[in-house]
């Protein structure tokens, strides 16, 4: 999993935008263990959404929920990307 394109993109965002040490980033790392405060955690989720051109429904992934791992984040992103592609709808929700 650690070599998936989704995971690598997330790891790069954490390293470059949020100054998280690469050694602290693995699929099993919980979002709560990244050392980000609640505002930075929300900014991280927004940065990931922008990078993947999608919006993650809050019912699929609430970043304030304890125990959400980077692996889970990758699974949600991949599922959202796949469902948007299958439905023919753009991945970005329009409000």
- C-beta atoms surrounding 83 within 10 Å: 12
Reported confidence tier of residue 77, pLDDT bands at 50, 70, 90: very high
SS3 category, 19: coil
What is the model's pLDDT at position 11? 97
Phi, psi of 71 (to 5 degrees): -60, -45
What is the model's pLDDT at position 93? 47
pTM over 0.85: no
What is the model's pLDDT at position 2? 46
Each residue of 13-61: pLDDT tens digit?
A: 999 999 999 999 999 999 989 999 889 988 999 999 999 999 988 777 7
Please give the full DSSP string across 28-87, using - where no structure is assigned: T-BGGGS---HHHHHHHHHHHHHHHT----TTT--TTSTT-BHHHHHHHHHHHHHHHHHH
């Amino acid at each position: 999993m650690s070599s998936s394109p989704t995971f690598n993109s997330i790891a790069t965002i954490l390293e470059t935008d949020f100054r998280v040490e690469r050694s602290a980033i693995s699929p099993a790392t919980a979002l709560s263990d990244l050392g980000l405060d609640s505002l930075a955690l929300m900014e991280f989720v927004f940065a990931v959404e922008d990078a993947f051109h999608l919006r993650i429904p809050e019912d699929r992934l609430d970043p304030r929920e304890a125990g959400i791992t980077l692996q889970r984040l990758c699974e949600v992103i991949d599922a959202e990307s796949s469902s948007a592609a299958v439905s023919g709808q753009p991945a970005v929700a329009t409000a």
